Structure 1
């Protein structure tokens, strides 16, 4: 069984990717075409004409309608065929599926499941977004050559950072600190405090720390597709209150995982921070460093994917540090199985 969970909001694209042109992207192994209406509202349709299945993305926009590039059939924003050149009657089956979309946080979110369940209130809330004193980096995208389950496990695994990210976020002082794990419904969090230790290179550079620090990493996973790593670096010896943490370096690093296929994933990332507002050089360095970090994750997860496919085995041995990653995978598999057993599966059109 493919572990796709359709009744959820996924990031389909950053807002700047979708304009008055036809933009295609494969999501949950379905071809989707996105565009904007003349008033700027985003639209998403199945990228497959109801006639002979030519991708609609090979056509063009006619006002707010998509015109197929093969025989000129036109489909409105709801997916209804409104024109067939050369005949007055539109066949009843000449319709394509439309998907609910919402634009929020400079991203276009799509619901691939039962449209009747698409409640915009269920879109994940991004902490501190647009709040005074907090800066946002968004619009970042990578294509990862791994199953989103492997990526989800990686994003729930603080232990790997010491070894996989030596030149960026890795901190050797944390390697022996045990990881704690908690789960509340569809939210899993793994975390650890590394106290009275030298800061990692990136924090030393940005924060100017000269002495020992306390550093926390909270790896949150909100099933099925949102990861948030809360990172705080503060001078050692302080009480770990919200107020003191806000006085240190604090960032919320978001990753939105949108499965492309069973073995590839759209990896969107967004970063909210309380330091370096207006510092363009710092922002460029952060972007470069985070892109490098996520490239390193991509290399690791892609290699895992290849070996898993070659052997048919996910892993041979289990370690204590696997508690968080294993919970996330189990949760996603349970959610997919539960959804497959309901009647809330979309009927394919075109």
Structure 2
């Protein structure tokens, strides 16, 4: 049994990645091909011709349709076969499964599950996106060699920053500060304040604090795998309210985890900040520092994945800091169980009908 949740929105690509060429990408273990029609709208199909199973991505675009590179069968963006060279009759099973897509926040989002449930309102809101006074670093991508749930564990675990991120967002001041956890219907939040502490390296590089700070970390994980990290600091002793945080040093880091396979993950991320807004140099430095932070996570999680595969278990001991990760895994398991109990139904006669469901 896999760990994927299909009835959810995932980032398939940044909008700038999808153009007038065929782009292959594996998502939730399924090989897909993406492209953009001449009217600008994106399209996505299973990357497999139903005839001999040749990858459509090695074919070519003919107008707005994909022509298979083996025998020339041509499919439109809905997956309907519009041409079979050498014959006038198109077999009724000559179709390819297509997927709902939505563009938002500079990304192309894909729904891999039941098409009738693909409500764009379920896409997580990105706070401060497009608001005056907030700088944006977007279009960022990393490839993690680990299961996406190992990354969600990491992204609701402020405690690891002290040890993994000594050079970027962590320091020893938080070593013994406990983590609090709150849970909603579709999210978990792990958070803590580290009061009267030395600014972490990122803050020293990008801010001008004099003396100690009160620093916060709020790690939100929206099911199944979208993370928002609300991170910042105010001068020690300041009020901790929302307005004070907005006037201090604050950032929102959004991490969109799209499972590729059971042991690899597409890691798309963007970063909003209220400091050095409008500075291209600051954009580059934030991108460098945050990339360095995430690469630190990627390195340790790849090693963890290797050992989990070798030993056949996820962990032998559970600690108090595992409260939030354990909640996320239970919630994800419930989503998976619900999908198993109510299997996906596709309307007959559509490009996603039973003959077009990939094997």
Question: Do structure 1's residue 349 and structure 2's residue 344 form an aligned pair?
Answer: no
CA distance in 1 between partners of 2:133 and 2:116 (Å): 38
Q: Which runs of 5+ in 2 are unaligned?
A: 347-353
CA distance in 2 between partners of 1:349 and 1:177 (Å): 50
CA-atom RMSD, angstroms?
1.0
TM-score by length of 2: 0.96
Question: Do structure 1's residue 290 and structure 2's residue 290 form an aligned pair?
Answer: yes
Counterpart in 2 of 1:243? 243
Q: Superposed, which structure 2 residues align to 1:188-267 within 5 Å?
A: 188-267=188-267
CA distance in 2 between partners of 1:320 and 1:118 (Å): 36
Q: Superposed, which structure 2 residues align to 1:304-323 within 5 Å?
A: 304-323=304-323
CA distance in 2 between partners of 1:234 and 1:60 (Å): 54
**Residue 205 (structure 1) shift:** 2.0
Q: Deviations over 1:218-259 (max 9, x none)?
A: 000001120000012111111111111111111100000000
Aligned pair count reads 350
SS at match of 2:293: helix
Change (3 A) 1:25 1:74: same
Q: Superposed, which structure 2 residues align to 1:141-180 within 5 Å?
A: 141-180=141-180
Is contact 1:204–1:210 with CA below 8 Å preserved after alignment? no
Is contact 2:136–2:283 with CA below 8 Å preserved after alignment? no
Counterpart in 2 of 1:125? 125
SS at match of 2:167: coil
Q: Deviations over 1:301-324 (max 9, x none)?
A: 111111011011211111111111
**Residue 212 (structure 1) shift:** 0.8
Q: Deviations over 1:130-182 (max 9, x none)?
A: 00001111100011000001011001100000100110111210111000011
SS at match of 2:152: helix
**Residue 124 (structure 1) shift:** 1.1
Counterpart in 1 of 2:82? 82
SS at match of 1:203: helix
CA distance in 1 between partners of 2:43 and 2:163 (Å): 43
SS at match of 1:260: strand
Counterpart in 1 of 2:351? none
Question: Do structure 1's residue 102 and structure 2's residue 102 form an aligned pair?
Answer: yes
**Residue 345 (structure 1) shift:** 5.7
Q: Deviations over 1:308-342 (max 9, x none)?
A: 11011211111111111111122112211221111
SS at match of 1:86: coil
Moved more, 198-207 or 13-22: 198-207
**Residue 349 (structure 1) shift:** 2.6
Q: Which runs of 5+ in 1 are unaligned?
A: none
TM-score by length of 1: 0.98
CA distance in 2 between partners of 1:40 and 1:230 (Å): 34
CA distance in 1 between partners of 2:227 and 2:263 (Å): 19
| Moved segments of 4+, more than 3 Å | 345-348
Counterpart in 1 of 2:13? 13
Counterpart in 2 of 1:30? 30
**Residue 269 (structure 1) shift:** 0.6
CA distance in 2 between partners of 1:120 and 1:186 (Å): 16
